[in-house]
Amino acid sequence: MSYIAREIIDVTSCNVTYENLVRFLKSYQQIRVVSYEEICVLLPIINLELMRRLTDIMDFSVMTSKKYDQCMNIIEYLEQSPEYSPEMRKKIQQAITRNPEQVIAKLYIDVLDSTLVKDDVVNKIIEHCEENDIDLDRVVEQQQHMLAAKVVVVENIIGSLWKIDAIDFDDIYREVSLVEEVLTKDPAEQYSDMTIRTKEYYRHEIADISRHLKVSELEVANAALYVAENENEHIGIVLLGSLRDELYNVLGKRRALKKDKEFYHL
């Protein structure tokens, strides 16, 4: 489910809402059916992935900030020096050369905005960019866009963590589960009126049968509905009661038929 969680976060630009979640899972299930257990763990995994991304942004910001501070420390020292010694000129060059483009851009912007004109520093930045074929205007513009984008992402992540905490799992499951859609077709029309706890018991039972017979949960649900309709019984009698053996028989026949089809298509 980590893959699905990452896809949801990427598609929504970290803005995970109930509506976005439902829309994504419905589209995703056109390719692969999501199981009960997968839906159960999805929200906690999305939370963890959002927290990881927030941590990555903070770590990157701290790393960039440290490199930027190193550059600024040199400039602050230069403010106290009327003349630049050869050693200090070398330190300026090293500070600029060793730092990534986003630091160069930030440094360049702050130097130009400063009340103290530091022509030598500005010239060194421009010189470095020219020697390394760096378009300084482009870098500055990209830096500004990147900072703005990171602010939006952080806001989205924090907002998503609050929204996810307010999402009711049963609401999500009812909305997106194909198994739930089958169970609501119960011929006895009892399933829809059951308590959440009883419904979860049925869902767990379907998941257990699915694992035991190595078939999908949707196959189990469809087979249970097939038996219930033939016998004109409540679907719970098929899953938990006297018609359980018939359910296993239907699933066994369908499984054998599926294997035959796979064999003849080889």
Whether 75 and 199 map to the same domain: the answer is no
For residue 172, being part of any structural domain is answered with: no
Mean pLDDT of the chain: 79
Please tell me whether residues 74 and 155 are part of one structural domain: yes
**Token pair of 174, please?**
């009812």
Note whether residue 171 is domain-resident.
no
Q: What is the mean pLDDT of residues 230-258?
A: 84
pLDDT tens column, 140-180: 677 777 777 888 888 899 999 999 989 988 889 889 999 99
Tens of pLDDT, residue by residue over 188-212, are: 999 999 998 999 999 999 999 998 8
Q: What pLDDT score does 264 carry?
A: 35
> Are 127 and 217 in the same domain?
no
For residue 35, tell me if it sits in a domain: yes
Three-state SS string over the chain comes to: CHHHHHHHHHHCCCCCCHHHHHHHHHHHCCCCCCCHHHHHHHHHHHHHHHHHHHHHHHHHHHHHHHHHHHHHHHHHHHHCCCCCCHHHHHHHHHHHHCCCHHHHHHHHHHHHHCCCCCHHHHHHHHHHHHHCCCCHHHHHHHHHHHHHHHHHHHHHHHHHHHHHHHCCHHHHHHHHCHHHHHHCCCCCCCHHHCCHHHHHHHHHHHHHHHHHHCCCHHHHHHHHHHHHHHHCCCHHHHHHCCCHHHHHHHHHHHHHHHHHHHHHCC
Domain enclosing residue 73, as ranges: 2-166
Average pLDDT over residues 71-85: 59
Give the pLDDT confidence score for residue 135 in this predicted structure: 74
Query: What share of the chain in percent tops pLDDT 90?
Result: 35
Where a domain ends, among 139, 166, 193?
166
Query: Is 20 found in the same domain as 145?
Result: yes
pLDDT tens digits, one per residue of 122-150 = 676 677 677 767 676 776 677 777 777 88
Tally of domains within the chain: 2
Read off the pTM: 0.65
159 with 55, same domain: the answer is yes
Is 13 a member of any domain? yes
State the pLDDT at residue 266: 42
Does residue 75 form part of some domain? yes
pLDDT of residue 4: 87
